[in-house]
Copies of this chain bind each other. A is one copy, B any other.
Amino acid sequence: MTTAAETATAVTPLQLGVGARFSIHPHTDDFAGVILGALDDAERAGLTEGLVLDTDVVSTYVGATEAPGEERIVRYLAGVVAAASRRTGGGHVVAHVLLSRGCPGERTCDLSVTALPRPEPLDVAPTGVDAVAQWSLYPLLDGGDGDHMALIEAAIAGARRRGTAARAAHYATMLTGDVAEVLATAADAWAAVGAQVPHVTTHLTVSVGSPSVRDAR
C-alpha cells in the first residue's frame, strides 16, 4: 500500500494531462518563415527536451513527458515568442496559449488521482521581450460548493502581488512584463489550482511589439 504522498510523487505530467496548445501570429507577410524559424530556434536552444510536440493546421500541441512539466512548457513557449519577436526585428507578434491539466483531449478524464502534487513556483529566465496579455483561468472540477470564483480571485491576487497583474478587463486580467514572467504568472496560478482541482485550464492572448502599446506610451 502506498501513501498519498508517494502516489503524488509517482504521477507523471502526462498522467495528469499536463500540456499546452498554442498558435503564434507574426503580423508580417513573411509569417510562415518567422513561425518555422522560431520553432527551430527553440529546438536548437534545447527547449523541447522532455516535451512532445504535434503541429496541425491551427496550432501546436505541447505535452510534458518529464517533470517539471509546467516549467518545461513555459520555457519553451517563452522561447518561441521571444524568437519570433527577434526574427521580426521587434515587430508585432501575438501568441494564443491554452494550458490544460487533467483531461488529455476529448477522452473521458481519468480524474481519479486525488493526491494532486503541488508544483514548485516556476523558474523561467527573462527573455528581454516585453509583453502585454489577457489571461483567463478556468477551474472546471470544483466540487460540491462550486466556488470556482474564489480560486480565480486568489489567482488574480497572486498576480497582483507578483506585479504582473495590471488591471481587470471583461472576462480576463491584463498582465504586463517580460513574456517569460507573464507566462509564468498564468502557469503558476494554473498549477496551484491544479493542486486542488483535478481539471483546470487557462488561456492567454500574449501580445509583443504592438503599435497600440507603443502609441500609448
A interface residue numbers (CB < 8 A to B): 19, 21, 23, 25-29, 31-32, 54, 56-59, 61, 63, 92, 94, 96, 98, 100, 103-106, 108-109, 132-134, 136, 138-144, 146, 148-149, 152-153, 156, 168-174, 199, 201, 203, 205, 207, 210-213, 216
- Number of this chain's copies in the assembly equals 2
User: Is B149 a contact of A56 with CB atoms below 8 Å?
Assistant: no
Which residues of chain B are near A136, meaning CB under 8 Å?
98, 201
Shortest distance between the CB of A207 and any CB in chain B (Å) = 5
User: Is A211 a contact of B32 with CB atoms below 8 Å?
Assistant: yes
> Given the complex of chains A and B, what is the CA–CA distance between A171 and B104 in angstroms?
6
Query: Residue of B at shortest CB range from A206?
Result: B58
23 contacts across the A-B interface (CB closer than 8 A): A21-B170, A21-B172, A25-B25, A27-B27, A27-B28, A27-B29, A28-B29, A29-B29, A32-B211, A56-B174, A58-B174, A61-B170, A103-B171, A105-B168, A105-B170, A106-B153, A136-B201, A138-B138, A138-B201, A140-B140, A140-B148, A141-B146, A203-B203
